[in-house]
Structure 1
Amino acid sequence: MSMAQRERRELVEAMRAAGPEAPTLCDTWTVRDLAAHLVVRERRPDAAPGIMLAPFAGYLDRVQKKAATKSFPALLEQVRTGPPWWSPLRPVDALANLAEMFVHHEDVRRAVPGWQPRELTAADQDKLWSLVRRMASMSYRKAPVSVVLATPDGRQVTVRSASGAVVTLTGTPSELLLHAFGRDEVRLTTTGDAEAVAQVLGLDRSV
C-alpha cells in the first residue's frame, strides 16, 4: 500500500470521527465540504479545472455544493475508494494524490485545538521531502526575499532566490510541506531578519 493510499484511509477515518459539520483548516469548509471537494476532484473531470482556473470556479462551486448534499457515509465511501477506473488520476494515484491526501488529513486533524504532529517514519518523511523540494518554488514565488527550506538533520533547498535578505524555515518535511501548501498550523522555526520573516510567513502560498 502506497503512502497516498494509507493517508487516504486515515483521512476517511479522521473525517468519520470528526463528523460532517466539524471545521477544517480549509477556510470555511466543514468536513462535509472537504469530502465533496475530494469527490469532485476525482470523479468530475468536467468541473475539476475550476480548482486551478478562476474562469471555471463558479461551475466547480455549483457542482461541489450539489455533491455535498449526498449522505455523509456515501461521500466518505467515494473518498475511500478513490478515483474510478476511468479517471486519469487512478494510474498515478501514488504520486498525484500523496500531497492531497496528506495535507487534507492534517486539515481535519489540526482544526482541533491541542493537535500534535504525527510521528511519521523516516521513509515517509523522505517521500514528503522529495515532494516539497519539487513544488515549494511555486508556493514561495511571490516572496520578496530568498527562501530556504531546511530540516533538522541538515538537508536544505533554496526555493526562492532574490536579492537581499534570506529567510530559512526549518522543520520536518511534513511541516514544511504543510506550510508550503498555505497552512499556518505548523511547527517550524525561522531564521532571518524579522521583517523578512514576517513577509514570508504572511505570503499567499496558494499553489
Structure 2
Amino acid sequence: MTRHAWSERQQLCDELDRLGPDAPTLCEGWATRDLAAHLFVRDARPDLGIGAFLPLLGGRLQRERDKLAQGDYRALVTRVRAGAPAWNPVSRPRIDELANLVEFFVHHEDVRRAQPSWAPRDLAGNEQRALWAALRRTARLMFRKAGTGVVLVAPGVGRHSARLPDEHGTVVLRGTPAELVLFAYGRGDHADVQFEGQADDVVMLRQSKLGLG
C-alpha cells in the first residue's frame, strides 16, 4: 500500500532538521521544537494525550511537552522520524495511514507555510484523493462551528456537503483537497481556496472557528 502518512512524516522531519529548533510554525505559540514534542507525545505517550481534552490533566501534558521541547532537539526529531513504537497500533501501516495522514500533512504545512519562502507543493493525484477521502470522513466535525452551510468542491475529485445551512445560506468552498483540508483544520489564512456565496455568508465562514478546537 502507498504510505502517504509515512512520507509526510519523513518530509516534515527533513524540514524540522533543516530549520532547527526555533523556527516559527503556524501553530500559535509553537516553534519547531514544540511541534516536534507534540508529535512525539502523540506517538509514544498516548496516556498524556488525554490531557488535550481533560483540563485536569492538561498541566501534566504541558509539562511533559515543555520538558521534551527543551531537551536534545536532534534526538527528538529522530524519534519522531522513527514513528510510533511497536506496541502502539498506529505503528501498523494501515492504521497509520488512517490516523496520521492528515496530522502529518497539516503539520508539515504548518512548518513550510510559516517560512517566508514557502510555495505550494504539487502533490500527486493519489495523495490528493487520499486527503479528500480523509476530509469527507471528518468534514461534519471540522465544520460543526461554521456559521453557514458549507459545500466542499475539489474540481476533478468530488463534491461533499460538510454542513447544512441554518439561518445563514450556504458557501461553496472550492480548492484542491490539500487546500480544503488546511482550511477545515483552521489554517484558512494560509489556504488557497475560493468562496462562492453571499458576501456576509463568506465573511461568517471565514471568521468561524474550525477544526477540533
Please indicate the TM-score interval, normalised by the length of the shorter structure. over 0.9
State the Cα RMSD in Å. 1.3
Secondary structure of the structure 2 residue equivalent to 1:46: helix
Map of 1:20-169 to 2, 5 A cutoff?
Answer: 20-91=21-92, 92-153=95-156, 155-163=158-166, 164-169=168-173
**What is the alpha-carbon distance in structure 1 between the residues aligned to residue 99 and residue 122 of structure 2?**
23
Structure whose residues are more often helix by fraction: 2
77-86 vs 50-59, greater mean Cα deviation: 50-59
- Counterpart pick for 1:170 among 170, 174, 182: 174
Quote how far apart the aligned CAs of 1:125 are: 0.4
Change (3 A) 1:154 1:98: closer
Change (3 A) 1:206 1:55: farther
Q: Which amino acid aligns with 1:74?
A: A
Quote how far apart the aligned CAs of 1:154 are: 6.2
Q: Provide, for residues 34-84 of structure 1, a one-character-per-residue CA deviation record: whole Å limited to 9, x for no partner.
A: 000001111112211123333322221111111112211111111100101
Q: Provide, for residues 79-132 of structure 1, a one-character-per-residue CA deviation record: whole Å limited to 9, x for no partner.
A: 100101112322221211111111100000000124221001111100000011
Quote how far apart the aligned CAs of 1:152 are: 2.4
Q: Which amino acid aligns with 2:83?
A: G
Secondary structure of the structure 1 residue equivalent to 2:60: helix
Secondary structure of the structure 2 residue equivalent to 1:119: coil
39-48 vs 7-16, greater mean Cα deviation: 39-48
- Counterpart pick for 2:209 among 194, 198, 204: 204
Change (3 A) 1:154 1:130: closer
- Of all paired residues, the percent bearing the same amino acid is 43
Q: Which runs of 5+ in 1 are unaligned?
A: none
**What is the alpha-carbon distance in structure 2 between the residues aligned to residue 93 and residue 37 of structure 1?**
17
**What is the alpha-carbon distance in structure 2 between the residues aligned to residue 191 and residue 55 of structure 1?**
42
**What is the alpha-carbon distance in structure 2 between the residues aligned to residue 104 and residue 154 of structure 1?**
23
Q: TM-score, normalised by structure 1?
A: 0.95
Q: Which amino acid aligns with 1:98?
A: L
Q: Which runs of 5+ in 2 are unaligned?
A: none
Change (3 A) 1:166 1:90: same
Contact 2:147 2:208 in 1 (8 A): no
Match of 2:194 in 1: 189
135-144 vs 51-60, greater mean Cα deviation: 51-60
Q: TM-score, normalised by structure 2?
A: 0.93
**What is the alpha-carbon distance in structure 2 between the residues aligned to residue 52 and residue 99 of structure 1?**
19
Secondary structure of the structure 1 residue equivalent to 2:139: helix
**What is the alpha-carbon distance in structure 2 between the residues aligned to residue 83 and residue 114 of structure 1?**
31
